[in-house]
Amino acid sequence: MNAYELGADDLVRRFEDWGQPPYRARQVYAGLWRRSATYEEMTDLPKALRARLEEEAPAQLEVLSEREADRGATRKALLRLGDSHVVETVVMGYRGRVTVCVSSQAGCAMGCGFCATGQMGLENNLTAGEIASQVVWGARAAARLPASPARRVTNVVFMGMGEPMANYRATRDAITRLLDPAGMDLGARHVTVSTVGIVPGILHIAGDHPQVGLAVSLHAADDELRNELVPVNKLWPLAELEEAVSEWRARTNRRPSIEWTMMHGVNDGDHQAVLLSPIARRLHAHVNLIPMNPTAGSDYRPSTPTRIERFVEVLRRHGVPVTVRDTRGREIEAACGQLRWELATASR
């Protein structure tokens, strides 16, 4: 039994079975999540209880490797979660905030050819505890970041390996764990879930976690090109996706963001910017342009800085708010679209 799979009430019941008082269970739960502590570090617990926890409810979070970039402000870990699932997780320190990018699956079944994870295929879904426990590693890493005065996790984005909405129940329950005031106690508005356009998930999360942010990886503004870049568009084409995001916005009163990976000669021309503009305006969305990060198995290439500037100019001329995402961790393959499983396979 992995301790990170246990909610606070589950832990209380287990402690009652052991003849331990409920306050001890709450103490352990806060230690695991709020303090991101190991059992060894919970010196306020009796030694015998710590030994029993290690034996019967281990906190399974193993760091197989860790790399850093951006003068230590970005760290990527290869983590073994639970008994066997292995994923990559990234923590990024900024001035005044620390963001953890978590994975929801080992691999991905969405098949986007410009993404390293998409080229892998799907290995496994992660459990809620496995997803949320990546933030525990992030909190430990945050304390060692030189670039952020925060030195604690302030934001979590579901933008790592996998499609969160294709593993919806685990994603939903992981968010619940992260928002729990007795545990990690993150604010809902500091959590963002990214999706390539799984319509049922967008509609579900509007009801389950209405204050959590939504980022839609669009990448193309017509169905023909989007079918090629994001194959799930064949199931939920642009009109249906836009309708779902519009409903999400109406139910949550929050502004969605549109993610757009800039690929040379593919989706970076004026025509795509013009097609994107009315979609973004109708959804009251903010557009994030992502300079493509090269991956070994992809024939796509990054747009030039000049082409990106032109795309920004066209969007702004059409009244669309837009920013170009700061690329972090590219040299350690920790940037958007670069997370993969070769290292995980080699670690077995």
Q: Is residue 88 annotated as a catalytic residue, yes or no? A: yes
Q: Give me the DSSP letters along 28-44.
A: HHHHHHTS---TTT-TT
Q: Which is the catalytic residue, given 108, 112, 115, 336?
A: 336
Rounded CA-CA distance 145/138 in Å is 10
Q: Are 89 and 70 in contact (CB under 8 A)?
A: no
Count of positions (residues) in the chain: 348
Out of 5, 68, 88, 259, which one is annotated catalytic?
Answer: 88
Q: Centre a 10 Å sphere on the Cβ of residue 237 and count the other Cβ atoms it contains.
A: 16
Identify which of 46, 48, 49, 47 has the alpha carbon closest to the alpha carbon of residue 3. Answer: 49
Residue 275, both tokens: 């097609």
H runs (alpha helix) in the chain: 8-17, 22-33, 47-56, 116-120, 128-142, 168-179, 199-208, 223-229, 238-252, 270-283, 305-317, 342-347
CA distance 103 to 122: 12
The token pair at 83 is 């008994």
* Backbone region of residue 70 per phi and psi (left: phi > 0; alpha: psi in -120 to 50; beta: other values): left
Query: Residue 5 and residue 16: Cα distance in Å, rounded?
Result: 18
Q: What is the CA angle 170-142-102, rounded to 5? A: 25
Tell me if 166 sits within 8 A of 158, measured CB to CB.
Answer: no
- Residues identified as active-site: 88, 336
